Amino acid sequence: MPQETPPAVLSRARYGKAEVRLLHVDRATPRHEITDLNVTVTLAGDMAATYLTGDNAGVLTTDAQKNTVYALARDGVRPVEAFALRLARHFVEVGSVDRAQVRIAEYGWRRIHAGGQPHPHSFERQAGTRIASACAHCDGRAEVTAGLDDLVLLKSTGSEFHGFLVDRYTTLVPTDDRILATAVAAQWRIDTMEADWAASFRGARAALAEAFAITHSLSLQQTLYAMGEAVLAARPEICEVRLSLPNKHHFLVDLGPFGLDNPGEVFYAADRPYGLIEGTVSRPGAPDGDPEHQW
Amino acid sequence: MPQETPPAVLSRARYGKAEVRLLHVDRATPRHEITDLNVTVTLAGDMAATYLTGDNAGVLTTDAQKNTVYALARDGVRPVEAFALRLARHFVEVGSVDRAQVRIAEYGWRRIHAGGQPHPHSFERQAGTRIASACAHCDGRAEVTAGLDDLVLLKSTGSEFHGFLVDRYTTLVPTDDRILATAVAAQWRIDTMEADWAASFRGARAALAEAFAITHSLSLQQTLYAMGEAVLAARPEICEVRLSLPNKHHFLVDLGPFGLDNPGEVFYAADRPYGLIEGTVSRPGAPDGDPEHQW
Amino acid sequence: MPQETPPAVLSRARYGKAEVRLLHVDRATPRHEITDLNVTVTLAGDMAATYLTGDNAGVLTTDAQKNTVYALARDGVRPVEAFALRLARHFVEVGSVDRAQVRIAEYGWRRIHAGGQPHPHSFERQAGTRIASACAHCDGRAEVTAGLDDLVLLKSTGSEFHGFLVDRYTTLVPTDDRILATAVAAQWRIDTMEADWAASFRGARAALAEAFAITHSLSLQQTLYAMGEAVLAARPEICEVRLSLPNKHHFLVDLGPFGLDNPGEVFYAADRPYGLIEGTVSRPGAPDGDPEHQW
Amino acid sequence: MPQETPPAVLSRARYGKAEVRLLHVDRATPRHEITDLNVTVTLAGDMAATYLTGDNAGVLTTDAQKNTVYALARDGVRPVEAFALRLARHFVEVGSVDRAQVRIAEYGWRRIHAGGQPHPHSFERQAGTRIASACAHCDGRAEVTAGLDDLVLLKSTGSEFHGFLVDRYTTLVPTDDRILATAVAAQWRIDTMEADWAASFRGARAALAEAFAITHSLSLQQTLYAMGEAVLAARPEICEVRLSLPNKHHFLVDLGPFGLDNPGEVFYAADRPYGLIEGTVSRPGAPDGDPEHQW
């Protein structure tokens, strides 16, 4: 008797708990340290039984995943790269899964100054988000990436854009002086499990901002590459940098109808549409990354 | 003299215009038809010259991409799958690019009723977003996907969750009656360029909602698979369905402290964290998809 | 001995619990009814002791306010105007407060159709939000308002704008045919505690949408007034309507540079800036509203 | 012949342009200064003709309002309080309006450091928003307020909450050590048109943050009052401070089920619901504010 062809197959599956919000307070001394995190866990592997039949015997509940994040935080959460890796390795040991990925967003805080001194337990939120992601496999392999999100940069000169292809729909006027602004989303792969994570992040972040500042820009594409190159030059442990740079357009307002000139002073900051420039800059000879790690 | 190893290489690059907002009014008859779109163009290929040197000779400006979206809209924008494909094919012909991807979100509207009749030119926005994406290569290959976003579904019974793995961090209580709610993000691959796009979308959407409704759920994973299977069963031109389903948790409120029972009537709708269940359901023997198409 | 002038006085104070998310399931029959609410409680009165000294003896904790919302929901939450009023009256009896205000947003759902029938316990979220607000005073006075939020309307013709004041900064070109689009935020005061709340809301909502549709618009201001007038005409229990209408601009795209005309077909939907038109339309002789009720 | 009662009256009307996004670059020296603004204009007065008949003769188009913001920016936009006042006074002279209100949000930027030096024309966005609002009347009266938005503060100890009213729905456990966190929205009225606006803002902002830090909190209400009092103490030109403080709850996670203690180290940061504490702190004998100024 011929077997029936199944009507459908499960070709890829993963599940987890997203956006576990966690504040950790280190009270080792009266000068508290706080760490403010948003943790997302993703487990992947052969999940046909669960998806096809509703048999949950292999399901580590997302509620337990949340509990695990809080429980393991009891031993400390800094640096976030190490915490992500510790969590990911924990999950591949527990579940009937092939791999676990843990992505953490860390929100920045600084101390409030009171009486001219940094306060021991009062803080003020800062802009920007630090990112860490770890992917661990049940065979012991692991990969860590770091990065940042929503680092908004702008230069008021030192940016040109001309010499571009002109097709029948091109009306843009070439310029040798424009505003360049972006909200950097960057992540980078670290070619070791033993980095000085804090120093690595600080160095990469500074390299990104400084390269943006000092590169005389001929295009946002060129600036992107310079930023990636600067990270690789600054930090030998980093082997690959992925950048996504929206071009936050600022258009010079035509004040002519009102009898006024506008020598690069008054701009309209547009919302949409926006250019979106993406690229990956790698160190030659870098080892291949983990194709299953979605960072 | 030996050549210096370059300090960095560009391993992946793409750029485009994101979120071109376009309203198209079809005035062929006094009973207008409107189509409300958000179009994102992405071009990819060998972009080393631009990124490394700032030579823009090969750059089709994102401003021209925006102009192109508006200009090609003059010939009509429905169905959106065809418009996405037409745009993508246009861009691979113009730019010095290997491939172009065009993703469109379409916002739904329905006619206002006035005097008991649907009004010929007045409309009211509806929930939910229809998605279309086309990827065209310079060698003529192309792929079209369709989908939807933010279809929020809820069932007030007919959902159980028990029999799951219990580890040391598991505290969840098994249940045989819970609220199941999600915001469906789904996209599917269509194995032809000649589909009846409107009928295909309507059928797939109805299949998703109906499968959610009639499946007695043992887990959101199982419901996901049933939804994907239903789409494949309903529409032969669809060969692969990708689903991402956040588990929008609703927790029964304990009214015991106030001397009240709560037989499944009063729930707290939580924001974060949330479960996130993902999976791909494919037709056996389906042709491989385009690995460069990011849908 | 002269008394010191206090350095500061508390001139106005209120506090409460915001955004209590509540899903109520009515299981009276197998055909469930769901009600999805976001409830905000605000208590006001003489709070000097609390604010100035930290004496909390008069503070009904916002946590208890949340509990109260859930506990009183056990007896049903429909119609939302009545639930808001019941909650507000409860709070003035408990706290040492002069008045309590309860504002509720209700999110709309409709049944999923499965097998051609509306499903008894599976639902799909709809656009738009219904609003109810009640303010109760400790002397027994109370006021109820209803309304809606985020009702997005658009007409593709039947809207002109010309004859406006021209100053030295006016460059707008008059038009006799433009897109008119807005996201209606409207609230109205109801001059009784005994209305048929469901019929009142349905009638007011229909009047707003229909007036938008059938009014040939000379300005969004004129349309606003027509919408308010229509609500008063449709529902005798309503005595005052407050409307806030953003002008969601849609600009005709100039396709001339590409050799194309654009007879009102292709528009750019802008985000910011936007016009914002506000107004209150009242029934002559309507009783004064409660000046403390912030709706 | 008796006159018909009009079916409706316009009891309150205003209109304007919201969210005009403006970047101003001061190029007086090679060390550029940038100012990043979001400007909202509101005009009010007798607008019956426009609203009731569609006669636009008295309407200053919102498009012209936008143009005016850009044109007047040509002469500089700092400090923002003065720019708001200049704009408001301009509008009451132009339109047939009784009063004009201009509200400005200013986004903060700081210089990128490159080579150890602050860069002359490259900037990085900072957290927090500065607010200014001016209301001008056609009779010459005017009022200016300043403020800030989204200043997120947290203290990891030094906050108690107990001694509160206990009703039948109170289940909160008193605590003598909790996390206190809020996102400050504050505005204050300035009793002169001749203030040193920059120094005034800096002083008020520092007073708010410092008072939050050094006040041992018995409730967020008490902290609110201390913050308002500190602003009045620090800046004699300020006569009234309005504060809106969401209580961003952080709940200690119970790690007991996992055999762990949790001595104030691991917290869950909740989204909704949240407490919302509001209050106004005034200088005794302060002149009355403008009741028409909506700040």
Please give the CATH number for the structural domain made up of C148-287: 3.10.270.10
CB atoms within 10 A of CB D176: 9
C-alpha separations of A147 from A198, A231, A281, B195 in Å:
12, 11, 14, 42
pLDDT in tens, chain B (295 residues): 445 667 899 999 999 999 999 999 999 999 999 999 999 999 999 999 999 999 999 999 999 999 999 999 999 999 999 999 999 999 999 867 999 999 999 999 999 999 999 999 999 999 999 999 999 999 999 999 999 999 999 999 999 999 999 999 999 999 999 999 999 999 999 999 999 999 999 999 999 999 999 999 999 999 999 999 999 999 999 999 999 999 999 999 999 999 999 999 999 999 999 999 999 999 999 999 999 999 9
Q: Give C52's contacts in chain D (Cβ within 8 Å).
A: 222, 225
Domain spanning C13-140: CATH 3.40.80.10: no
Angstrom distance (rounded) from CA A205 to CA A131 = 11
SS3 state at D220:
helix
| Residue from the list B53, B60, B277 with its beta carbon closest to the beta carbon of A165 | B60
pLDDT in tens, D148-197: 999 999 999 999 999 999 999 999 999 999 999 999 999 999 999 999 99
Residue length of chain A: 295
CA atoms within 13 A on the CB side of A124: 21
- pLDDT over 80 at A94, yes or no: yes
What would the pLDDT profile of D221-247 be if each residue is shown by its tens digit? Answer: 999 999 999 999 999 999 999 999 999
C8, C58, C224 member nearest D51 (Cβ): C224
Does B61 touch chain C if contact means CB atoms closer than 8 Å?
Answer: no
Q: Which pLDDT band, with edges at 50, 70 and 90, does D1 fall under?
A: very low
Interchain contact B171–D (C-beta under 8 A): yes
Q: What confidence score (pLDDT) does residue C7 get?
A: 84
Is B225 close to A10, i.e. CB distance below 8 A? yes
Q: Do C13 and D221 touch (CB under 8 A)?
A: yes
Q: Exposed, middle or buried: residue C267 (CB in 10 Å: 0-12, 13-18, 19+)? A: buried
Q: In Å, how far is A20's CA from the nearest CA of chain C?
A: 19
CA of B221 vs chain C CAs: smallest distance (Å): 18
| pLDDT for the residue numbered B1 | 44
Residues of C marked as catalytic: 17, 62, 249
* Contact predicate C222/C245, CB 8 Å: no
CATH code for the domain defined by B12-140: 3.10.270.10
Q: Mark which residues 202-231 of A lie under 8 Å from B by CB.
A: 217-219, 221-222, 224-225, 228-229
Interface subset of B 255-274, CB within 8 angstroms of A: 272-274
What's chain A's average pLDDT?
96
Q: How far is D28 from chain C (nearest CA, A)?
A: 26
* C8 interface with D at CB cutoff 8 Å: yes
Q: Check B24, B50, B62, B250 and give the catalytic one.
A: B62
Neighbours of A1 (CB within 10 A): 3
Q: How many degrees, rounded to 5, is the angle at CA B112 between CA B111 and CA B114?
A: 130
Phi and psi torsions of C270, nearest 5°? -90, 150
D63 contacts chain C (CB < 8 A):
yes
Residue A294: what residue type?
Q
Is the CATH number 2.30.300.10 carried by domain B148-295?
Answer: no
Gap between the Cα atoms of B212 and D114, Å rounded: 55
Confidence category of residue D4, pLDDT binned at 50, 70, 90: low
Any CB–CB contact under 8 A between C12 and chain D?
Answer: yes
Residue range A42-52: mean pLDDT, rounded: 95
Q: Taking CB atoms and an 8 Å limit, are A221 and B15 in contact across chains?
A: yes
User: Could you tell me which chain B residue has the CA closest to the CA of A7?
Assistant: B283
Q: Is-contact B232 A7, C-beta < 8 A?
A: yes
Domain with CATH 3.10.270.10 in chain D: 9-140, 150-295
> Which residues of D are less than 8 Å from C227 in CB distance?
none
* Chains in touch with D (≥3 Cβ pairs < 8 A): A, B, C
CATH code for the domain defined by D9-140: 3.10.270.10
- Would an 8 Å CB–CB cutoff place A113 in contact with chain D? yes
Mean pLDDT, chain C, integer: 96
As annotated, the residues of chain A forming the CATH 3.10.270.10 domain(s) are: 1-140, 149-295
**Distance of alpha carbon B22 from alpha carbon C250, whole angstroms:** 9
Which H helix or E strand runs over A144?
Answer: strand A142-155
From D24, D62, D119, D280, the catalytic residue: D62
Measured between beta carbons, the chain C residues lying within 8 angstroms of D6 are 284
Q: Do A265 and D24 touch (CB under 8 A)?
A: yes
State the span(s) of chain B assigned CATH 3.10.270.10: 12-140, 148-295
Taking only the tens place, the pLDDT of each residue in A172-212 is 999 999 999 999 999 999 999 999 999 999 999 999 999 99
Q: What is the CATH number of domain D150-295?
A: 3.10.270.10
The answer to whether residue A2 scores a pLDDT higher than 60 is no
Which pLDDT score, from 0 to 100, does residue C5 have? 60
**What is the spatial distance between Cα D115 and Cα D112, in angstroms, rounded to a whole number?**
10
Contacts of B271 in chain D (CB under 8 A): 271-272
Q: Which amino acid is at A245?
A: L
Written as one string, the DSSP assignment of chain B is: -PPPPPS-EEEEEEEEEE-EEEEEEE-SSSS-EEEEEEEEEEEES--HHHHHH---TT-B-HHHHHHHHHHHHTT---SHHHHHHHHHHHHHHHSS-SEEEEEEEEEEEEEEEETTEEEEEEEEEEEEEEEEEEEEETTS-EEEEEEEEEEEEEESSSB-B-S-B--TT--PPPBSS--EEEEEEEEEEES-S---HHHHHHHHHHHHHHHHHHS-BS-HHHHHHHHHHHHHHH-TTEEEEEEEEEE--EEEP--GGGT---SS-EEEE--SSEEEEEEEEE-TTPPPP-TT---
Check pLDDT > 70 for residue C2: no
**CB-nearest partner of A276 from B18, B51, B217:** B18
Residue D120's pLDDT is 98
D94 interfaces chain A, CB cutoff of 8 Å: no
Q: Which residues contact A137 (CB under 8 A, 6 or more apart)?
A: A92, A98, A99, A290, A292
Asked if residues C249 and C275 have their Cβ atoms less than 8 Å apart, the reply is: yes
Tally C-beta pairs within 8 A across A and B.
260
> For residue D54, which residues of chain C lie inside 8 Å, CB to CB?
217-219, 221-222
Task: Return residue ranges of chain C for CATH 3.10.270.10.
Answer: 13-140, 148-287
Find how far residue B67's CA is from the centre of its chain.
24
CB pairs under 8 A between B and C: 191
B partners (3+ CB pairs within 8 A) are: A, C, D
D24 catalytically annotated: no
DSSP notation for D141-152: -EEEEEEEEEEE
Q: Which CATH number fits domain A149-295: 3.20.20.450, 2.30.30.100, 3.10.270.10, 3.90.1210.10?
A: 3.10.270.10
Catalytic residue among B17, B66, B90, B155: B17
Give the mean model confidence (pLDDT) for residues A162-172: 97
Cβ distance of B153 and C179 shorter than 8 Å: no
Instruction: Write out pLDDT tens, residues B213-241.
Output: 999 999 999 999 999 999 999 999 999 99
**A5 near B CB under 8 A:** yes
Whether C273 sits inside 8 A of D16 (CB atoms) is no
- Per-residue model confidence as pLDDT tens digits over A213-266: 999 999 999 999 999 999 999 999 999 999 999 999 999 999 999 999 999 999
Indicate yes or no: CB of A122 within 8 angstroms of CB of D26.
Answer: no
By the CB < 8 Å criterion, does C173 face chain D?
A: no
pTM of this structure: 0.97
Give the tokens for residue C108.
């709309």
User: Given a contact as 3+ CB pairs under 8 Å, which chains touch A?
Assistant: B, C, D
- pLDDT tens-digit profile of B85-109? 999 999 999 867 999 999 999 999 9
Measured between beta carbons, the chain A residues lying within 8 angstroms of B96 are 165
Q: Which residues of A are catalytic?
A: 17, 62, 249
With CA atoms as reference, report the closest residue to B24 among B32, B36, B14. Answer: B36
CA distance D101 to chain B (A): 31
pLDDT computed for residue C1 by the predictor: 44
Partners of D62 on chain C (C-beta within 8 Å) are 247, 273, 275-276
A257 CB neighbours in chain C (<8 A) are: 171
What CATH number was assigned to the domain covering residues A1-140?
Answer: 3.10.270.10
* Cα A72 from Cα D260, distance rounded (Å): 10
pLDDT given for residue B78 in this prediction: 98
